[in-house]
């Protein structure tokens, strides 16, 4: 068995110097900043705000909502770097958890996704699936833009309504199997639209919320999605007539049909079959004596395939619903809005290497030509935290170097080696990347970044083993002034100032 050594730590953020520096390049308005906090960082790699106005606006950061952090300005990369330099300062001051992992969220990206939706699917009203990421800034921004909300529990409904300025009619209670007390409370809060896919649900609703506006959720083909829902939800078409007759018997109002092709749909052509099934369900409604007025096309929208999905949907809707007078179209996008908007910075807190001898050179040579990772890196967030998306959402994450050897610049000629990346807990299941190529010279104290970390990450993170949840810094990148204006207007109307959810 190969000898396993713990490499001597070289922590670039933890050392001292006496030379003061009031305000290093790339950092604004930082009183008390000292040279020792960023000593050795390659300032040629830092972007001065005034040198590129597309990255940082020359205005102060804003405190729009009293209960939320300030909204910064500038490209996320700037704030990833600034966050690393903040960690340097905290390490010098001997703060506990100085190197804590953190997110940077670009609300400008959320705004751009909303405009993209309006352009591609102007006739379909988005109802954001907040289970994907119930971030308080994201909810307020989408509320200010007029979006609706897909809620799956009493807690999510309360979270949305507590923001203020959101009428209950903008909420869809899109959980086909609900607790009776939740149904009763939805009625009390004025939330009427809710889904069902079984007879028992109808009996509960008849008792707890007889005035509900019901939507029958039909089973769709979800074989082309990362996360399939059909095993748990959706009424097969052959049982829909019986459900509708039961609803009539219970004097319940069924107003439409919904489906969901699964989360993370990688073949948008599947929407055509789902729309065809919805047409059949509409006809069944007519036969049962209902006049349906709502079609919910669900979620599954992927950023990279959105235009293709929108094209399939529009063609299918035109084919199967040529006369849409009196029919309202809605959808339940989640990851589409937030996936790309969030990036995560993590610190390498430990490292192990299989070594034939006690030298890095021996470790590198012994690992060459082998399929087994030669270095194990341990970072301060893992699958029990933000990377739960690996377990629950079947995601594959790709690390990249944010800072290495006191520099934000990584040479293209840097030697690489096959590595594995692990989370901070004491559970061996806490593996972020089993095998990934990373620079051979990475050390303890260097930082790794992960993009596309906005969907199904923060929402399911835990504090297992006593590790804290990663904080979020908020910014708006180029073109994000419209997002800020929408938030200012929303706040100016008196909304969004309550306690952060």
Catalytic residues: 426
Helix (H, G, I), strand (E, B), or coil: what is residue 404? strand
**Radius of gyration, alpha carbons of the chain:** 26
Structure tokens belonging to residue 187 = 């009625």
Query: 186-206 b/e with 16+ CB inside 10 Å = b?
Result: bbeeebbbbbbbbbebbebbb
Q: For the purposes of burial, counting CB atoms within 10 Å of the CB of 494, is it exposed (0-12), middle (13-18) or buried (19 or more)? A: exposed
DSSP secondary structure code for residue 465 in this structure: G
CB 77 within 8 A of CB 445: no
**Which residues contact residue 219 at a Cβ distance below 8 angstroms, ignoring those fewer than 6 apart?**
197, 230, 233, 234, 235, 236, 237, 259, 277
- The rounded distance, in Å, linking the Cα atoms of 440 and 10 is 14
Smallest CA-to-CA distance from 226 within 116, 389, 360 is with: 389
Q: What is the rounded distance in angstroms from the CA atom of residue 448 to the CA atom of residue 9? A: 16
Backbone phi, psi, residue 304, to 5° = -70, -20
Asked if 205 and 252 touch (Cβ cutoff 8 Å), the reply is yes
Retrieve residue 418's tokens.
């096959």
With the CA atoms of 197, 198, 202 and 204 taken in that order, what torsion angle do they form, in degrees rounded to the nearest 10?
Answer: -110
**Strands 431-439, 416-422: parallel, antiparallel or unpaired by DSSP?**
antiparallel
- Token pair belonging to 115: 């405009």
CB contact at 8 A, 356 and 366? yes
Q: How far are the Cα atoms of 200, 221, 315, 356 from residue 301, in angstroms, in the given order?
A: 30, 15, 16, 49
Q: Give the C-alpha distances (Å, rounded to integers) separating 133 from 18, 128, 136, 334, 486.
A: 44, 9, 9, 8, 20
Residue 487 backbone phi and psi in degrees, to 5: -70, -40
């Amino acid at each position: 068995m190969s000898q396993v050594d713990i490499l001597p730590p070289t922590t670039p953020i933890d050392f001292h110097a006496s030379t003061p520096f009031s305000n290093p390049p790339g950092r604004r308005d930082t009183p008390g900043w000292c040279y020792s906090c960023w000593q050795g960082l390659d300032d040629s790699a830092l972007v001065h705000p005034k040198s590129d106005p597309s990255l940082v606006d020359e205005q102060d950061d804003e405190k729009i909502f009293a209960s939320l952090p300030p909204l910064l300005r500038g490209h996320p990369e700037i704030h990833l770097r600034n966050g690393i330099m903040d960690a340097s300062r905290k390490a010098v001051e001997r703060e506990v958890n100085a190197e804590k992992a953190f997110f940077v969220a670009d609300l400008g990206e959320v705004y751009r996704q909303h405009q993209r939706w309006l352009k591609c699917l102007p006739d379909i009203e988005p109802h954001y699936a907040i289970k994907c990421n119930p971030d308080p800034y994201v909810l307020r921004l989408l509320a200010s833009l007029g979006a609706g909300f897909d809620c799956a529990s009493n807690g999510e409904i309360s979270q949305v309504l507590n923001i203020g300025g959101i009428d209950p009619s903008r909420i869809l209670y899109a959980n086909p199997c609900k607790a009776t007390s939740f149904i009763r409370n939805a009625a009390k809060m004025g939330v009427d639209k809710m889904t069902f896919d079984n007879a028992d649900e109808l009996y509960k609703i008849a008792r707890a919320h007889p005035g509900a506006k019901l939507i029958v959720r039909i089973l769709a083909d979800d074989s082309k999605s990362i996360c399939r829902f059909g095993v748990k939800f959706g009424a097969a078409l052959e049982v829909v007539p019986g459900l509708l007759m039961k609803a009539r018997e219970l004097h319940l109002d069924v107003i439409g049909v919904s489906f969901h092709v699964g989360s993370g749909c990688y073949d948008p052509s599947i929407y055509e079959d789902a729309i065809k099934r919805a047409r059949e369900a509409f006809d069944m409604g007519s036969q049962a004596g209902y006049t349906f007025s709502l079609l919910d096309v669900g979620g599954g929208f992927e950023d990279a395939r959105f235009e293709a999905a929108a094209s399939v949907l529009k063609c299918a809707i035109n084919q199967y619903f040529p006369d849409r007078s009196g029919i309202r179209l809605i959808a339940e996008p989640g990851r589409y809005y937030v996936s790309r908007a969030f990036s995560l910075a993590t610190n390498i807190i430990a490292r192990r290497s299989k070594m034939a001898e006690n030298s890095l050179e021996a470790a590198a040579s012994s690992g060459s030509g082998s399929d087994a990772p030669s270095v194990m890196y341990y970072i301060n967030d893992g699958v029990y935290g933000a990377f739960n998306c690996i377990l629950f959402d079947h995601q594959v994450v790709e690390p990249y170097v944010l800072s290495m050897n006191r520099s934000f610049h990584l040479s293209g000629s840097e030697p690489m080696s096959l590595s594995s990346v692990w989370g901070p807990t004491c559970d061996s299941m806490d593996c972020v990347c089993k095998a990934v190529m990373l620079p051979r010279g990475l050390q303890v104290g260097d930082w790794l970044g992960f993009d596309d970390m906005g969907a199904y990450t923060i929402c399911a993170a835990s504090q297992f083993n006593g590790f804290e949840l990663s904080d979020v810094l908020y910014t708006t990148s180029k073109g994000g002034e419209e997002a800020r204006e929408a938030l200012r207007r929303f706040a100016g109307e008196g909304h969004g100032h309550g306690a952060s959810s």
